[in-house]
Amino acid sequence: MRHYSTYAAIALTAISLATFTAVGAADETGAAVVPGTPCTATAEACVDLGRQQAWLLTGGRVVRGPVPISSGGPGRETPTGTFGVEWKHIDHVSGEFGTPMPYSVFFAPGGIAFHEGPIDHPSAGCIRLPAADAPPFFDTLQVGDEVQVR
């Protein structure tokens, strides 16, 4: 019978734990879910509507968040699914409401975007972010990046 050294056993345990922590569980399709989020490792941004939280992700790891958010209210629900960042505008003004949408990152049909705004009441479908968090979302997310809304 082979005996492994204590150091080898510790190293194998550490590698196993690190792998599990980085990958986490799997979603219904079998894709790895980023620990602490409902999103898979392919996302660059993740939104949990039930918990009203968002994250920035890189390489399957959280780099910012959870961040408190406000999402769409009754009749103006934020769409769920997997989207791609379509375009960005740092000083956008809503054409529908005439209100400022600083640090806008558009990712879903109908003008749905991440942007700075109050998080104490529902939006018209967008994901509102606190003032301290909107610039990092704007700076980090690029056109084509994957956004998952759950």
Q: Count Cβ atoms below 10 Å from residue 54 Cβ, excluding itself.
A: 27
Q: Is 126 a catalytic residue?
A: yes
What the block records as the tokens of 142 is 């690029």
Give me the numbers of helices (H) and strands (E) for the chain, helices first please: 2, 9
Which residue is catalytic, options 3, 89, 115, 121? 115
Q: Is 39 a catalytic residue?
A: no
Which residue is catalytic, options 39, 46, 92, 126? 126
By 3-state DSSP, what share of the chain in percent is helix, strand and coil, each rounded to 5?
15, 40, 45
Q: Which residues pair with 136 in a beta bridge?
A: none
Q: What value, to the nearest 5°, has the Cα angle with vertex 43 and ends 33 and 16? A: 35
Positions marked catalytic: 115, 126
